[in-house]
Amino acid sequence: MSGSGRNNVRKRGSTWTYYVYVPSGDGGRRQVTKGGFRTRREAEAARIEVLNSINSGAFVRPHRVTVRAFLEGEWLPSQRPPTLEESTHRSYAHYIRLHVVPYIGGVPLQNLTPMDLNDLYRRLLDSGRRPPTPPLRQHPPELVRRVTELRAEGRTWQQVADAVAVEFPSGRGLTRHAVAALARRQAEPRRSKQQPTAGLKPRTVRYIHSIIHAALKDAMRWGRVVRNVADAANPPPVGSVRSGRPHAWTADQLGRFLDFVAEDRYLPAWMFVATTGCRRGECLGLKWSDLDLDKGTAVISRQVTAIDHKLRVKPLPKTKRGHMIVLDRSTLGMLRRWRARQRRSPRWWR
């Protein structure tokens, strides 16, 4: 076949190019060329590989679609609900936009290699974090200490706010919720003084790898690429030392926090999460009909998620009836008092 002139290799300048006729979409054939090979042997080997893929039915027509064009223009639109949960789709789009496209978005999809992905993961681990958010408003240390002192004297948060507004110019305009937040920050466990690295955590990079792997798996099924190069890439192990250990409050620290939020409007939520281990979305999804205050139980069957700054209520995945938890005495007593307060002042809670 190489001698027919229809499938052969030729030298063009200082490099070699192969020519192959491949099946076209209309049932005919068209010529495909690829050059840049340093030797005739390299070009001939690549030509034979294409011919073998045609004979085995694994041939993928060459195209110039980039990684970005495929991910944002083809793959993400195909993953919209009901294919994926809306929150999952938004998460995929978020990580692709921030951590994939800026690095390898311009690479032709068919030219993507495992080395490209390994380099991406290394760069994300080293310097992939987004610029830090602006720090919270800072207040004089004297004001913060005064808030703690007044609170220790037994004053309400409103009384504390009124007092610091008189004693400190920067305290004017602080609401009871604001001074409570100041006290909470003061009571939180001290973070390590070691400056965080500018890179993403290994678990996050591993998640990005799973997104890329899923996208390339579909690209292979759709005839966009010959193989999934993510199979040969080396994402960081989840158990890497750099991921660190989860930091949990001690019983004493949790008690201090609950003391500081004793008059907070959302105390029931703080206490429910602290004593039951429920996730935030599960706690926010609770209704009074889910609670049996006589038996001291709660049924967790739905969750609240925020998507595009809008709240969505949906059933918990992989379950329809949910699961029941038993409430301890302190949480049960708090819920009973909260229910009674709601009934006395229903408008305040709407």
pLDDT means over runs of 10, the chain (350 residues): 59 90 74 84 87 78 89 96 87 95 93 92 88 55 87 88 86 82 69 60 96 96 89 84 66 91 87 91 92 94 82 74 86 91 73
Q: Is 345 found in the same domain as 278? A: yes
Instruction: Decide if 168 is inside a domain.
Output: no
Q: Is 338 found in the same domain as 283? A: yes
Q: Is 215 found in the same domain as 116? A: yes
User: Which two tokens mark 342?
Assistant: 């709601």
Handedness of CA 239, 87, 282, 316 (dihedral sign): negative
Cα angle: 223, vertex 226, 228; to 5 degrees? 105
Could you tell me which residues are beta bridge partners of residue 32? 20
Instruction: Decide if 316 is inside a domain.
Output: yes
The single residue listed with the structure tokens 């305040």 is: 348
Q: Is 337 found in the same domain as 205? A: no
Query: What confidence score (pLDDT) does residue 132 get?
Result: 44
Residue 179: Cβ within 10 Å count: 27
Query: What confidence score (pLDDT) does residue 318 get?
Result: 61
Instruction: Decide if 326 is inside a domain.
Output: yes
Would you give the DSSP letter of residue 74?
A: I
Query: What confidence score (pLDDT) does residue 53 get?
Result: 80
Q: Is 343 found in the same domain as 220? A: no
Instruction: Decide if 228 is inside a domain.
Output: yes
Distance CA(147)–CA(259), nearest Å, equals: 14
Distance CA(255)–CA(192), nearest Å, equals: 21
Domain tally for the chain?
A: 3
Instruction: Decide if 211 is inside a domain.
Output: yes
Query: What confidence score (pLDDT) does residue 321 get?
Result: 58
332, 345 Cβ separation under 8 angstroms: no
Burial 316-326 (b: 16+ CB within 10 A, else e): beeeeebeeee
User: In terms of residue numbers, what domain contains 91?
Assistant: 67-129+198-233
| Total number of residues shown for the chain | 350
Could you tell me which residues are beta bridge partners of residue 303? 314
Instruction: Decide if 108 is inside a domain.
Output: yes
Q: Is 345 found in the same domain as 202? A: no
Own/partner pairs, 15-22, CB within 8 angstroms, 24+ separation: 16/40, 16/42, 16/43, 17/43, 18/43, 18/44, 18/46, 18/47, 18/50, 19/47, 20/47, 20/50, 20/51, 20/54, 22/50, 22/54, 22/59, 22/61
pTM of the model: 0.58
Query: What confidence score (pLDDT) does residue 181 get?
Result: 82
205, 98 Cβ separation under 8 angstroms: no
Distance CA(47)–CA(20), nearest Å, equals: 7
Instruction: Decide if 182 is inside a domain.
Output: no
Query: What confidence score (pLDDT) does residue 40 get?
Result: 92
Instruction: Decide if 39 is inside a domain.
Output: yes
